[in-house]
Amino acid sequence: MSLQAGGELYLRSMTVADIDDVMAIETVAFVSPWSRQFFLEELRATHARSVLCQREGKPIGYVIYWEVSGELDIHNVAVHPRNRRQGVARAMLGHIIESATQRGFRRMTLEVRKSNDAAQTLYRSLGFETCGLRKGYYSDNGEDAWLMERKLQSRYTEPSQN
């Protein structure tokens, strides 16, 4: 996959060997970063999945999500600040949407800070709609979160029963 502002992107699942690079992104991307232990637990969870984005062999972003009961719940989307506004998050989320659609998932959900207009704009451009409000969702400052969802339609239809 190629992007206009800076070269080829390579998407793959995150591994334990990526934790140092992921933590380097996490600590500059968020005011209240997840802990190393939290990421390790996510990598061990049977329903947790990830996408790591690399450019020139260097991790520049990632998404952590869960697959549960035919639905995907996005838990964390992060792009290193120097790589933002280059289509990295769009590429990762597009990859997840495509895969989820092909595999027959029904919907995707995520929470986003009420103040994060840039992320909300990205999510809406990818077909997410606001469907609720989570009061005091963020523990660092009590900020509310918008709950957003994207309904998915399988590309495959069941054969008709004649």
Does 123 qualify as catalytic in the annotation?
yes
Q: What are the pLDDT digits (tens) for 107-117?
A: 999 999 999 99
DSSP string, the chain: -EETTTEE-EEE---GGGHHHHHHHHHHH-SSPPPHHHHHHHHH-TTEEEEEEEETTEEEEEEEEEEETTEEEEEEEEE-GGGTTSSHHHHHHHHHHHHHHHTT--EEEEEEETT-HHHHHHHHHTT-EEEEEETT--TTT---EEEEEEE---S--PPP--
Task: Reply yes or no on whether the pLDDT at 160 is more than 70.
Answer: no
Q: Which of 42, 62, 65, 111 is catalytic?
A: 111
The model's pLDDT over 117-154, given as tens digits with 9 standing for 90+, comes to: 999 999 999 999 999 999 999 888 889 999 999 999 86
- Among 62, 123, 137, 156, the one annotated catalytic: 123
Provide the whole-model pTM. 0.87
Confidence of residue 159 (pLDDT cuts 50, 70, 90): very low
Q: Which tens digits make up the pLDDT trace of 2-29?
A: 343 456 899 999 999 999 999 999 999 9
- Going by their DSSP bridges, the two strands 129-134 and 10-12 should be labelled as unpaired
156 is catalytic: no
Residue ranges of domains in the chain, CATH in brackets? 2-151 (3.40.630.30)
